[in-house]
């Protein structure tokens, strides 16, 4: 069995070139107007793009400032809530770390329960940080009684009724 090779002649068709009509060069005044229109449109687009870039920078700056203020307010709220159980509310951040994300809820508000739980743990570990004094007794090992202060000597002199 022999194999015969057949070749198919390729058909090529040439497309006749269209005769080019010589373009007339626009007069110099018209050419200058076309260039100015292009420059004006390009210049206008550049000015508009520059304006948008400037607005974007200003908006980013405002966003950064607002984010900073929000973080400061959230931190202040956490410290305020911690101050209810600690002598200094800032001690929560000092001893538990500066990360405030653990005290925020999903919507970004301060979770008071998480702050109170962290304060309770901190007071268990370091009772001296508590806002409530531990020792309620006096020097005689008994509970302190509320004693009325003795009158001052000046009060005794000036508070006398004339006779």
Does a structural domain hold residue 57?
yes
Does a structural domain hold residue 89?
yes
For the ranges 15-19, 86-90, 104-108, 110-114, the lowest mean pLDDT is seen at 15-19
Instruction: Report the domain count for the chain.
Output: 1
CB 115 within 8 A of CB 82: yes
What are the tens digits of pLDDT across the range 11-35? Answer: 555 555 555 544 554 555 554 454 5
For the ranges 6-15, 54-63, 146-155, the lowest mean pLDDT is seen at 6-15
Does a structural domain hold residue 69?
yes
Averaged pLDDT of the chain: 75
Domain containing 99: what range?
A: 32-131
Does a structural domain hold residue 53?
yes
Does a structural domain hold residue 66?
yes
Does a structural domain hold residue 141?
no
CA nearest neighbour of 86 among 130, 118, 135 = 130
Does a structural domain hold residue 87?
yes
């Amino acid at each position: 069995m022999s194999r015969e090779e057949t070749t198919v002649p390729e058909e090529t068709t040439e497309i006749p070139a269209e005769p080019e009509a010589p373009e007339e060069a626009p007069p110099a005044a018209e050419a200058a107007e076309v260039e100015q229109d292009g420059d004006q449109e390009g210049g206008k687009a550049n000015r508009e793009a520059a304006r948008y870039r400037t607005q974007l920078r200003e908006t980013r700056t405002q966003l950064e400032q607002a984010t900073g203020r929000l973080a400061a307010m959230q931190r202040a709220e956490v410290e305020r809530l911690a101050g209810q159980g600690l002598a200094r509310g800032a001690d929560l951040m000092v001893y538990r770390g500066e990360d405030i994300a653990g005290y925020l809820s999903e919507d970004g508000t301060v979770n008071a329960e998480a702050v109170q739980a962290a304060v309770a743990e901190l007071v268990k570990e370091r009772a001296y940080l508590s806002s409530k004094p531990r020792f309620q007794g006096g020097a005689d090992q008994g509970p302190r009684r509320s004693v009325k202060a003795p009158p001052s000597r000046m009060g005794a002199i000036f508070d006398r009724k004339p006779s």
